[in-house]
Amino acid sequence: MASADDRGALGAPTRPPGPRLSWLGLVAFGLMAALLAAALVQTRQFTLLRHALQSGDDYAVLTIYQTETEYLRLREQWRMARDAGRPLDAQALRERYEIWVSHVDMLHAPGPQRLIHDDPDYRRTLAAVDAFVAGADGALGRDAAAAPTRAFVDTLWPALLALDAPMHRMARGAAQHVAQELEERAQTVRAQNQLGLGLTVFLSVLTLAFAATALRQVRQLRERRVALEELAANLRQARRDAEAASEAKSAFLANMSHEIRTPFHGLMGMLSLLRGTGLSPRQGEYLRTATESADHLLAILNDLLDMSQLESGRMTLNPAPVALRELLRDVEALMRPQALAKALALHIDADPAVPERVLADATRLKQIVFNLLSNAIKFSDRGAVVLDVRPGSDEAGRAMLDFAVTDTGIGMDAATQDRLFSRFMQADSSPLRRHGGAGLGLEISRNLARLMGGDIAVRSRPGEGSCFTLRLPLLAVPGTAAAAADAAAGPGPRSLRVLVAEDHAVNRQYLAALLDNLGHQAHFTVNGQEAVQAAQQGRFDVVLMDLHMPVLDGIAATRAIRALADPAHSTVPIVALTADAFEETRERCLVAGMNDFLTKPVSPAKLATSLRRLFGGAVEPEPPPGASASLPPPGRGGAQPLVDDSAIAMALQVMPPERLRPMLQAFLDQGPETVQRLRTAVRDGQPLDLRVNAHAVKGAALNLGLAALAATAEALQDGAAHLPAHEIARLVQRYEEQLGQTRRALQARGLLGAVEAGLTG
C-alpha cells in the first residue's frame, strides 16, 4: 500500500525545472533552423540532380543493348532454320522474331527516340531495321497469312546479316554516350556532396546536444528492436518451415496417390471379377455399394493428385483439335444417369455460333464440365440442370466461350460464395454439409480454368439455384486449319499405331485383318496387364480394349492406364470392345475413362467411324458401300441361322476369302477344346470359368458371322450363374452339335475346302 507521500507524488502533476525546459527549447529551435537550412540545400541538390538525370539516356541505351542481344539470338535461330540437315522449326523462328520486333518497337519510344534523333547514324540503322521488319512480317508477323518456308528464310538471310554492323555500331555509340554522361553526373554529385558535408557537420553538432536528452528513449527503442528482431526471425523460420512442409506435403500427396493406386486398382479388378460370379441379390447389392465406394475413393485420389500437380507446377495441358459437340454428347451420356436417378431434367445445348471444332485439352475440359454438372445435380432435388454453351468476350474484347451450368438447387448466400473456391471448403450448414466430398473439386476446376487462360464465376441466391460460368479462350479450328491441326497434334492421315488387348486368338486375327485393311499398324496383347505394360513402355495413338480378359480385365486395365504418371501415356484414347451391348456396360466404360464403345461384331464402318470421332476425317479411308449397316447381336428375338450371311459379307469386305478360310477353320478346330473347357466348368461348379469361356467364343463367333454358335455361347454366358446344371449341360451339348452343323454350312458356301471338311467330319 502506498504511503501518503507516494499518493501525493502520484496524484500531483510534476513540472520539469525551468532551465532544462529553456535549454531544450533552444536546442529545438536550433534543430528547426538547421532543418530549414537543410531543406533549402536539399531542394537545390534535387533540382540539380533532376536536371542531370533528365538528360540521361540510360533507358535508351539499355533498350539498344537488349535489341542487339535479341538480334543476335534471331540471327542464330535464322541460321539454324537455313540448315538443310534439320527440319524448319517455324514456331521457334516466329517466337524469336516476335521478341526481337517487340524490342525494336521500344526504340520508337520517347526515350530512345531522343537519343536516336540526335545521331544520323542511329536514324539510318533504325530505318534499315524497320525495312527488314516490313519484309519479314509477311510470314513471321502476328497476322502472317502463311508459315515461313525455307526459300523465304534464305531470301531474307542477306538482309538480316546486313543489320549486323549497324546494330553493333549503334550499341557501341550508345555506350560511349553513357560514359560521357556518367562523368558529367559524377562531377555534379561531387559538388553537391561538398555542400552536403558542411550541412552534415552542423546537424551533427545539434544532434549530439540532443542525444543526451534522448538516451533513455534510445535504450527503450533498442530493447523493443531486439524483441522485434527475435519475433521477425521466428516468423521467418516459421515461414520457411511452412513452405518446406507445403512442398513435402505436395510431394507426399503425389507419391502416395500413385502408391495407393497400385493396390487400389487390384481391388477394383477383383471387384470387377467378382461381379461376374454367381451372386445372390443381397450380395450383388453389397458389391454395388463397395464398387460405388471404391469409385468415390478413386475420385478423391484423382483430386489429390491433381491438386499436388497444380501446386508444384507439374500440371501440363495437351491442347488438340476437339469436336466440341461430340464432347458435349459424351458429357451428357455420363451425366444423364445421375440426373435421372434424382428425377432431374438435364438439358445441354450449344449456340449455333459456337464453332464445331476448337483447340483445347479435351480431358481437362471434360473434367471441369463434369465437376460443375455433378455439383449442380448433387445440390438439386427438383427441377432441371442446364448446360448452355455460347460465344462471348472478355473485358479486353477477346473471343471467349462460356459454359454456363444453371441449376434449381438450394443456392448459396454471399458468404458461402466468397469461400466457395477455397481448398477443402465444405459449407457448415446441413443442406450443404450432408453431401460430403473432399472439398477440392471447385478449386481444382478454377485452377485448371486459369491454367487454360480462363476462369470460373458464380451467381447464386439461397433457395433460387446457382449459375456457374466457365469462360475459356478456346480457339476455333475451322476448315483446312482443322486438318492441319490434326496433322500436328494427332498421329497423321496415313496410319495409326493401335494397341489391341484381346485374349481370343481368332479375334486377334480378325482385328489384325480389319486394321490392316484400314491402313493401321496393330500391336497385340492377350490380357489387361500386358496392355498396361505396353501402354506404359510404348507410344500408341489409340487402344482397342476388350472388356473380358484374364489377369486384368478391360475396365481395370483402363483405370491403370489413366493412373500412369506420364500424361503422354495416360491420356491415350481407349475404345472398348465387347459383345455386351447393354447401356450399363457402356456407362461403366465411360466412367472408367474410356473414350468410345464398340460392340462385336466390329465392322469396318463402326471402327472407321470411331477413329474419325477421335482423330478427324482424314485418318482413314471411307468404308466400302454397304459396310455401314450395324448388325444386331445374335441370341435375341428367336432362333439364329447357322451362318449370318450379312456378317460373312462384312468379313469379306475386310479380308479376301483366302484369309477368312483359315480363321474359320482355326475357330472350328478349337471347338472340341472349347467344349471340354465348358464341360469341366460345369462339372466343377465354376460359373465364372463358364462365363469367361462362353464370352470369349461369343465375341469370335460374332466377328466371323457364326450366328448360331454366338447365340448358344451367349445363352451359356447369361445362364452360368442361375440355370440348373442339366440346362447348362444341354446348352454345351447344343454348342457341340452346332460346331458340325456350322462346318457343313460353311462348306456349302465355299468358305471351307472339301479336304478341310473331310478331315474334320
Lowest mean pLDDT among 11-25, 386-400, 402-416, 711-725: 11-25
Rounded to whole angstroms, how far apart are CA atoms 437 and 446?
17
Top-confidence residue, 412 or 633 = 412
Residue by residue, DSSP assigns 154-195 as HHHHHHHHHTHHHHHHHHHHHHHHHHHHHHHHHHHHHHHHHH
The per-residue pLDDT for range 515-529, each reduced to its tens digit, is 888 888 999 999 999
CATH 3.40.50.2300 domain range(s) in the chain: 490-630
The per-residue pLDDT for range 186-202, each reduced to its tens digit, is 777 677 677 777 777 77
Top-confidence residue, 602 or 117 = 602
CATH 1.20.120.160 domain range(s) in the chain: 640-761
Kindly indicate whether the domain formed by 248-312 is annotated with CATH number 1.10.287.130.
yes
Kindly indicate whether the domain formed by 640-761 is annotated with CATH number 1.20.120.160.
yes
- Name the percent of the chain lying above pLDDT 70: 75
The per-residue pLDDT for range 265-314, each reduced to its tens digit, is 567 666 766 766 667 778 878 887 787 777 767 767 777 767 766 766 66
Under the banding of pLDDT at 50, 70 and 90, the label for residue 467 is very high
Based on its alpha-carbon atoms, the radius of gyration of the chain, rounded to whole angstroms, reads: 39
pLDDT surpassing 50 at residue 758? no
Domain 320-476 belongs to what architecture?
Answer: 2-Layer Sandwich (3.30)
Q: Which amino acid is at 101?
A: V
CATH 3.30.565.10 domain range(s) in the chain: 320-476
Mean pLDDT computed over every residue of the chain: 77
- Name the percent of the chain lying above pLDDT 90: 8
Contact present, 668 and 743 (Cβ < 8 Å) = yes
Rounded to an integer, the average pLDDT of 317-324 is 84
Q: Which long-range contacts (CB under 8 A, 24 or more apart) does 175-184 make?
A: 175/61, 177/57, 177/61, 177/115, 178/57, 178/58, 178/61, 181/55, 181/56, 181/57, 184/52
Q: Which CATH class is domain 26-215?
A: mainly alpha
Rounded to an integer, the average pLDDT of 337-363 is 86
CA 366 from centre of chain: 10
Contact present, 524 and 497 (Cβ < 8 Å) = no
DSSP state of 146: S
pTM over 0.75: no
Across the beta sheet with 357-360, the strand order is 320-323, 357-360, 475-476
Rounded to whole angstroms, how far apart are CA atoms 239 and 244?
8
**Cβ-Cβ contacts under 8 Å for 444 (sequence gap 6 or more):** 303, 306, 307, 310, 367, 371
pLDDT surpassing 80 at residue 540? yes
Domain 490-630 belongs to what architecture?
Answer: 3-Layer(aba) Sandwich (3.40)
Rounded to whole angstroms, how far apart are CA atoms 335 and 324?
16
Under the banding of pLDDT at 50, 70 and 90, the label for residue 472 is very high
The per-residue pLDDT for range 654-684, each reduced to its tens digit, is 778 888 888 888 888 888 988 888 888 877 7
Contact present, 634 and 610 (Cβ < 8 Å) = no
pLDDT surpassing 50 at residue 573? yes
CA 414 from centre of chain: 31
CATH 1.10.287.130 domain range(s) in the chain: 248-312
Q: Residue 545 pairs with which residues in a beta bridge?
A: 501, 576
